[in-house]
Amino acid sequence: MADAHLGQVPSATRDAFHAFLEAVPALGDALLINGDLFDFWCEYGAVIPRKHFSTIARLAALRARGLPITFIGGNHDRWGGDFFTDDLAIAYHPNDVELVLAGRRAWVAHGDGLTEQHWSASVLHHVLEHRWTVSAFRALHPALGFWLADRLSGVLADSTKDQAVLDRAQRAQAAYARAMLERRPELGLVLLAHTHRPALEALAPGRVYCNPGAWLDGYRYAVVAESTVELRQFPGA
């Protein structure tokens, strides 16, 4: 699953995700979160964001039951670190990663910075990834930092509602995934997110591009099995 943006969505969206976590062991053998689970996450040495505590507690409980969780950082929650890996025992990757999922060699990335539709988005991507940006933000008091993030998030959300832009992003992302699968025959699966548009395309038998769509838009997710990849919607809380 991807793109829940918890912290900037209605409580019903968060509650549905918590119900989904309760159901995950019956849905599959592992959970892959492909970015933007949180609308903003910055890891500090001794601070956990209060509004995300209930979600973190449920992820910890799921790990305590023995279910593997992999978290790929998105453009909203790439500033994570050893809190996920050491404290929660979640495999956290701030950028793209290659994994074996249900027997398939998969390349997984949130998708930001790959097919941006405007130069400003590409610049913002590089600025937010720079270590100086991260270090400067962590020097702020957390209360100020999260306040600034909330204000910025609202502005960015309003600027990304143009359906024509989203349509172009969806087409560009599908073309990128197609080229990746053609260029790398050892891959059986490319998983992306970020556009908030679900997509499922078979390039050849057993070789698939998938975007599960946004959790915040109808509780969407995908299930990867040995012989199938399916787009699904969770019934809700």
State which amino acid sits at residue 55. Answer: T
Three-state secondary structure call for residue 202:
strand
Task: Name the token pair of 71.
Answer: 């978290």
| The token pair that represents 180 in the structure block | 């990746």
List, in order, residues 6 or more apart from 216 with CB less than 8 Å away.
3, 4, 5, 9, 13, 196
Buried b (16+ CB within 10 A) or exposed e, 24-51: beeebeebbbbbbbbbbbbbbeeeebee
Which tokens go with 73? 């950082």
What pLDDT was estimated at residue 118? 55
Q: Which two tokens stand for residue 45?
A: 């040495």
Contact 210, 200 (CB under 8 A): yes
**CA neighbours closer than 13 Å in the CB half-sphere of residue 106:** 22
Q: How do the pLDDT tens digits run along the chain, 237 residues long?
A: 999 999 999 999 999 999 999 999 999 999 999 999 999 888 888 888 889 999 999 999 999 999 999 999 998 898 888 999 999 999 999 999 999 999 999 999 999 888 665 545 555 555 566 577 667 777 778 888 787 877 777 655 544 567 777 788 899 999 999 999 999 999 999 999 999 999 999 988 889 999 999 999 999 999 999 999 999 999 975
Task: Specify the pLDDT at position 16.
Answer: 97
Domains of the chain: 11-233 (3.60.21)
CA distance 201 to 50: 39
